[in-house]
Structure 1
């Protein structure tokens, strides 16, 4: 039990069930990393098979934006399949995070629905591909190709992200309300007229090009003129 292990660590937590009753809601959770010394790997998705793109120090306080099930891990706080999405957009196993609860302390992570035409990669597979190119500068000015290749296509079939965003608008796929769910394409205007697009990590985060000059994580409103989000649909992808 977490309250018996490392009981001296005190953090604020909101307890609840993994699948809350209708109408029930969590706020963001909080926790403290406890690995007994080693940095904890932050991964692109909820499992040990996903790309490890950074670490968080033992003893660090973390904000948990949402939680979901994934690979079962045995750690400081026993065995669990719960994974915590952190405020940097990555996931860590809850087995190494003291939250004051053996259950969940944040909302379940929200995923976008399936597009009309299946992609070559799943949502988490696409995000993992993107994180495998973290800080790469090779995709600058190629944001649309970056998202299409992340989802398993050779190319999007559109010349620019502005054209792709216009297509989503004209075909009724662009959503302008709500935080983009995990896996959604997030569309923007820009001053060049070519537009911009990134992939949503959920909880207000995106991964894409042109973040400090390379592939990185940003808030979904950090880029220029936000247009909205859509399912990851490439009708002319090749």
Structure 2
């Protein structure tokens, strides 16, 4: 899942029973409301506050066009509806070696760093955004805690793909707050 904020010109955003305005309206969501996005799909192309897109978000209450939902990314913010919720981990083991996820995400077998701590220390200052918790999709997010610190990858906003947070050896969608509560302060 992911989170977003409805941003219209003031009117409520209609949620439909499918990914098109031709589907019946099943609910309305107030401008400024926070929404949980269960999954995304494609549908009719709509031009809205955040551009033109055929991405539709499934939220409790129906489908809404992504062009009126701020998610921090111009791409799908959640897994596809009806698709696999577990990304493939073939060829990569994530147990206790979170820095390896970064290498695998970018198509490499190793990151070149022995730990997230060394990775953070080796990152040039101009690429560090200390205190900025709104990481864009694809950004590395570092956490201070434990002997090796911790790293995850942002999917936009406060959402991340994280290792081990959902259980040893897992690859899980999570949030900055959840990881901070378990493993330490967000450095970003």
Shorter-chain TM-score: what band? 0.5 to 0.7
Within a 5 Å distance, the mapping from 1:45-64 to structure 2 comes to: none
**Partner in structure 2 of residue 82 of structure 1:** 55
Within a 5 Å distance, the mapping from 1:221-232 to structure 2 comes to: 221-223=177-179, 224-229=183-188
- Distance of aligned partners of 1:153 and 1:202 in 2 relative to their CA distance in 1, 3 Å threshold: same
**Partner in structure 2 of residue 106 of structure 1:** 69
**Partner in structure 1 of residue 164 of structure 2:** 210
What 5-or-longer segments of structure 1 have no aligned partner? 15-25, 32-40, 49-66, 71-80, 88-96, 112-127, 230-238
3-state DSSP of counterpart to 1:10: strand
On the 8 A contact 2:71/2:156 being kept in 1, the answer is no
Structure that is richer in strand per residue: 2
TM-score (norm 2): 0.60
Cα distance in 2, alignment partners of residues 228 and 162 from structure 1: 11
**Partner in structure 2 of residue 63 of structure 1:** none
The Cα of 1:6 is off from its aligned counterpart by 2.2
Cα distance in 1, alignment partners of residues 125 and 69 from structure 2: 35
Give every structure 1 segment of 4 or more consecutive aligned residues whose post-TM-superposition deviation is greater than 4 Å. Answer: 1-4, 67-70
Q: Tell me if 1:173 matches 2:130.
A: no
**Partner in structure 2 of residue 11 of structure 1:** 28
3-state DSSP of counterpart to 1:138: coil
| Residue of 176, 181, 189 corresponding to 2:144 | 189
Between Structure 1 and Structure 2, how many residues are aligned? 149
What 5-or-longer segments of structure 2 have no aligned partner? 1-13, 44-49, 75-83
> 1:100-154: per-residue Cα shift (whole Å, max 9, x none)?
xx6732126337xxxxxxxxxxxxxxxx9x82239xx931111111211111122
